[in-house]
Amino acid sequence: MADKIRVTVWNENVHEKTHEEVRKMYPLGIHGAIAQYLAKQPDLEVRTATLDEPEHGLTESVLVETDVLTWWGHIAHGKVDDKVVARVQKRVLAGMGLIVLHSGHLSKIFRALMGTTGSLKWGAADEKERLWNLEPGHPITAGIGACIELPYEEMYGERFDIPTPDKLIFVSWFEGGAVFRSGCCWERGHGRIFYFQPGHETYPSLHNPEILRVITNAVRWARQRICIESTCVEVKPLEKISAKQM
Amino acid sequence: MADKIRVTVWNENVHEKTHEEVRKMYPLGIHGAIAQYLAKQPDLEVRTATLDEPEHGLTESVLVETDVLTWWGHIAHGKVDDKVVARVQKRVLAGMGLIVLHSGHLSKIFRALMGTTGSLKWGAADEKERLWNLEPGHPITAGIGACIELPYEEMYGERFDIPTPDKLIFVSWFEGGAVFRSGCCWERGHGRIFYFQPGHETYPSLHNPEILRVITNAVRWARQRICIESTCVEVKPLEKISAKQM
Amino acid sequence: MADKIRVTVWNENVHEKTHEEVRKMYPLGIHGAIAQYLAKQPDLEVRTATLDEPEHGLTESVLVETDVLTWWGHIAHGKVDDKVVARVQKRVLAGMGLIVLHSGHLSKIFRALMGTTGSLKWGAADEKERLWNLEPGHPITAGIGACIELPYEEMYGERFDIPTPDKLIFVSWFEGGAVFRSGCCWERGHGRIFYFQPGHETYPSLHNPEILRVITNAVRWARQRICIESTCVEVKPLEKISAKQM
Amino acid sequence: MADKIRVTVWNENVHEKTHEEVRKMYPLGIHGAIAQYLAKQPDLEVRTATLDEPEHGLTESVLVETDVLTWWGHIAHGKVDDKVVARVQKRVLAGMGLIVLHSGHLSKIFRALMGTTGSLKWGAADEKERLWNLEPGHPITAGIGACIELPYEEMYGERFDIPTPDKLIFVSWFEGGAVFRSGCCWERGHGRIFYFQPGHETYPSLHNPEILRVITNAVRWARQRICIESTCVEVKPLEKISAKQM
């Protein structure tokens, strides 16, 4: 456990170029905001990658050196190359951690790993959100109290089309009357996956210390533990087989 | 509950044409053997579909009239059109049941719904198999005792690369020393999925009354309950939102 | 499936005798209100039982003739005889269904089956409640839309100290800012258990047709499927054992 | 994480006094064998406790200083004081880890936490056992290969009457034809629980380095992360409540 956890912070980085409001909110890009915070942690080694880099910055060699990948995408899900998605999925199944943020619920990689549509109700009405902490003993909520309050976030509401989470960490209350399973854990293959709802591009949620603390905790929780690509293997019986007499 | 359950029995139907041994074991094809048994049930309405039919026999109109789809494939997984796989997945998420048999663990549809590789250990050594019934109260094991014994089956062994099943129904013992989670339930979207291990093409497992009974039970358990295609929907707040003051 | 489901509606029936407000709200008792509705269903056969009957009305012979037991208790949990609790638990593990309502989260029987404290946050402030339907395809939500709205209920908030539900059916939004896992399914032994949050004694929730519909659905879902008392059994090996050579 | 994990190794310690065969196999007692191995780990601080000590060696002050408790019991389950069981349960729910070994499946504490009978099939026929590792990435299997082989163990077979495990770590194959879920994880309250099947008193399993490695791993996995006694708390609404108009 002496080695640092190698984190790659991925962002489609489109809104930041086209919307002045987003650029002002996240002058370093959403990836920059997350990476800046993570890089302050002594146990993390952080790099970023974005959509417009070759292979979206997610080459084989980058992924081989990545223990945990965080993912933020929204309007450009369709521009992510299927080959890169397959490569990321393969790595998650082999043991790499994956943290999917906010609108990443519709990303190709999240849908490929879940097998479901990831669809939900949504509304942009500057609603107050409260994320209730259901698992105060879980590593993902270390340092977090009974509830995180955000003055405004995009509303995401049920039904969220996901497989039943292995562990439900946060459930959110929205001012407008909705609820949402806003922090969900799964394991797929040997990899750990955490979906976390906050992070709309026009709100400062990804500057919020509690939200960044949860993401940091999730990175530590999801750190790669082994790296095994599962394949079908033919094996011989370990015990003597009685003769077949059909 | 008065209406019949409409079942489509799908089979790649390749071994039956190329291997004399398989043709002798399943003269009506694997699909024929399953369909013949299911068709005797008064509550089921059964049709078959195979790989070499147009759109593999799984057109939109066939799927719309299918409550439960059973799937047997082995050497031709790669020949199944991705568009048909996407169509079947969409229907499962909307509520259609899916029963995946034996070597279907590597089928595109099973892997798409699970998000994992579906890989496992295997060996063809004419091993005796015992399927232990972990859930005698579950509808899938109605009429089944503590254990089903098969004189020989292909060995499938752990680690089986699947998401943790919602419910584990059977665990198998193999003569050669292996174990396998041989009957597994999941829900994805609104659809129910059952994976069942027996059914190698050179063994008579799909003529075995207990195996056929389990498949029949699984069809009843997985019957379509609703049909809703999940999509993202924008909604207005139900409650008054306090003014934003950033 | 021709036989009727035999339901026993249990109520501690204390508030109804001591609080005028409760007597006016539930003139037949809470058990009476539930039983009256259930008795109108052609597939159900309903009886009631209360705390002050001999053995709380839950004798061996009553339980043997009960497929599903519903439970409402609040201020008299401590007065329920441990022997009766053990008897009910034994029956649930053998296959009887159990529906635990509202303040039953602290009942001896619920805590015995869950293994946890069942504790939660609460507040009586006449809050509006919305129960969001996470599983529109589940039998428990048959006939229920996206959400049930109650003009006022007692607030129950997280963290609810329960084992992770096998299936989470409802999550509630409360006007005052809280959320709650208000409809939860588990299986213990061969029995099915459903916890459902609404039903405070001073509110008309148990006269609400949607709430009564959910309880009715839950009764059908939890109906006894088999009746097996699990005990340890010594068995002989099925296969020949190689000689021990220590 | 600098502090040591404080482990209390509990054993009923009855067979060791009454059966010469057991005394020869475990001259330090079963607790002694486990504690001796654990005490060699630099991150663990180990003590033992047995049935015939006052309060079975599990006083409030011992439990307050215990992060993980391991439990071995067999013929004296009934002699464990209910008050001590309640005290241990309370501590587990508050966050203490619990490792239940072998015949502890019928212990009062395991049954209280599971809510089920813990019953199973069993047979003493000197059978070979193979524990298949389903989760090579899980901390409990660190350093363990695809399978642990024991030349003979007591056979434990399905159906094991337990709630569906949160995570199934080992499934065992027995020479005589049985299978068993031999390594199971749950969380109850804030505590983690691991059941592990090997450890019959007349076999050397608890001297086996792989079995001891798994127990050590499990102790590390189950270490207390927080300590919170869950209780019901009345709270005020966080948001303004609209006036009640019944």
Contact D242 C164 (CB under 8 A): no
Sole residue written with tokens 């053995």: C55
Separation between Cα atoms, residue A63 and residue B40, nearest integer Å: 53
CA-to-CA dists, residue B56 to B24, B31, B77, angstroms: 24, 13, 12
Question: What is the residue range of D33's domain?
Answer: 5-114+183-221
Residues of D in contact with B169 (CB under 8 A): none
B178-222 per-position pLDDT tens digit: 999 999 999 999 999 999 999 999 999 999 999 999 999 999 999
What is the predicted pLDDT for the residue at B242?
A: 86
What is the predicted pLDDT for the residue at A1?
A: 44
Residues of D in contact with A228 (CB under 8 A): 136-137
B31, B32, B43: which is closest to B6 by C-alpha? B43
Q: Which amino acid is at A95?
A: G
- CA geometry: angle D209, D212, D213, nearest 5 deg: 85
Mean pLDDT of chain C: 96
User: Is there a contact between D127 and D99 (Cβ–Cβ < 8 Å)?
Assistant: no
Task: Output the six-digit token pair for A212.
Answer: 């960044």
Strand, helix or coil for residue D29? helix
C87-98 per-position pLDDT tens digit: 999 999 999 999
Contact C137 B166 (CB under 8 A): no
- What is the residue-level pLDDT of chain A in tens, covering all 246 positions? 458 999 999 999 999 999 999 999 999 999 999 999 999 999 999 999 999 999 999 999 999 999 999 999 999 999 999 999 999 999 999 999 999 999 999 999 999 999 999 999 999 999 999 999 999 999 999 999 999 999 999 999 999 999 999 999 999 999 999 999 999 999 999 999 999 999 999 999 999 999 999 999 999 999 999 999 999 999 999 999 886 654
B39 vs A243 pLDDT, higher one = B39
Phi-psi region of B40 (alpha: psi -120 to 50; beta: other; left: phi over 0): alpha
Strand, helix or coil for residue C138? coil
What is the predicted pLDDT for the residue at A242?
A: 86
Q: Minimal Cα–Cα distance from A130 to chain C, Å?
A: 7
- C135 within domain boundaries: no
Residues of C in contact with D177 (CB under 8 A): 237-239
- B237 within domain boundaries: no
Q: Minimal Cα–Cα distance from B177 to chain D, Å?
A: 7
- D136 within domain boundaries: no
Q: Report whether pLDDT(C120) > 50.
A: yes
D190 touches chain A (CB under 8 A): yes
- D246 within domain boundaries: no
CATH of residue B25: 3.40.50.880
- C128 within domain boundaries: no
Helix (H), strand (E) counts: chain C: 7, 10
Residue B226's CB: how many other CB atoms inside 10 A? 14
Q: Which of D95, D136, D226 comes nearest A226 by C-beta?
A: D136
Q: Tell which D residues from 144 to 163 touch B, by Cβ distance under 8 Å.
A: 146, 157-160
Contact B159 D130 (CB under 8 A): no
Residues of C in contact with D233 (CB under 8 A): 119, 121-122
What is the predicted pLDDT for the residue at A246?
A: 47
Q: Tell which C residues from 108 to 147 touch A, by Cβ distance under 8 Å.
A: 130, 132-136, 146
What is the predicted pLDDT for the residue at C244?
A: 61
Which of D116, D144, D158, D197 is the best substitution to test chain B (most B C-beta atoms within 10 A)?
D158
Separation between Cα atoms, residue B205 and residue B199, nearest integer Å: 5
Q: For chain D, list the strands marked E by DSSP.
A: 5-11, 44-50, 68-72, 97-101, 121-133, 147-157, 167-174, 179-188, 191-196, 233-234
- C40 within domain boundaries: yes
Separation between Cα atoms, residue A57 and residue A69, nearest integer Å: 12
Q: Minimal Cα–Cα distance from D172 to chain A, Å?
A: 14
* DSSP secondary structure string for all residues of A169-190: EEEEEETTS-EEEEEEEEEETT
Contact B137 C166 (CB under 8 A): no
Q: Report whether pLDDT(C2) > 70.
A: no
Contact A190 D228 (CB under 8 A): no
Q: For chain B, list the strands marked E by DSSP.
A: 5-11, 44-50, 68-72, 97-101, 121-133, 147-157, 167-174, 179-188, 191-196, 233-234
Q: Which of B137, B167, B228 comes nearest C136 by C-beta?
A: B228
Separation between Cα atoms, residue B156 and residue B105, nearest integer Å: 10
D73 touches chain A (CB under 8 A): no
Q: Report whether pLDDT(C151) > 70.
A: yes
Residues of C in contact with D91 (CB under 8 A): none
For A119, half-sphere exposure in the C-beta direction (CA atoms, 13 angstrom radius) is 14
- What is the residue-level pLDDT of chain D in tens, covering all 246 positions? 458 999 999 999 999 999 999 999 999 999 999 999 999 999 999 999 999 999 999 999 999 999 999 999 999 999 999 999 999 999 999 999 999 999 999 999 999 999 999 999 999 999 999 999 999 999 999 999 999 999 999 999 999 999 999 999 999 999 999 999 999 999 999 999 999 999 999 999 999 999 999 999 999 999 999 999 999 999 999 999 886 654
Separation between Cα atoms, residue C109 and residue C89, nearest integer Å: 7
Residues of A in contact with C134 (CB under 8 A): 158-160
D175-216 per-position pLDDT tens digit: 999 999 999 999 999 999 999 999 999 999 999 999 999 999
Q: Which of B130, B164, B171 comes nearest D171 by C-beta?
A: B171
- CA geometry: angle A116, B235, C135, nearest 5 deg: 40
B85-133 per-position pLDDT tens digit: 999 999 999 999 999 999 999 999 999 999 999 999 999 999 999 999 9
Contact A173 C158 (CB under 8 A): no
- C44 within domain boundaries: yes
Tally the domains of chain A.
1
C191-241 per-position pLDDT tens digit: 999 999 999 999 999 999 999 999 999 999 999 999 999 999 999 999 998
- D229 within domain boundaries: no
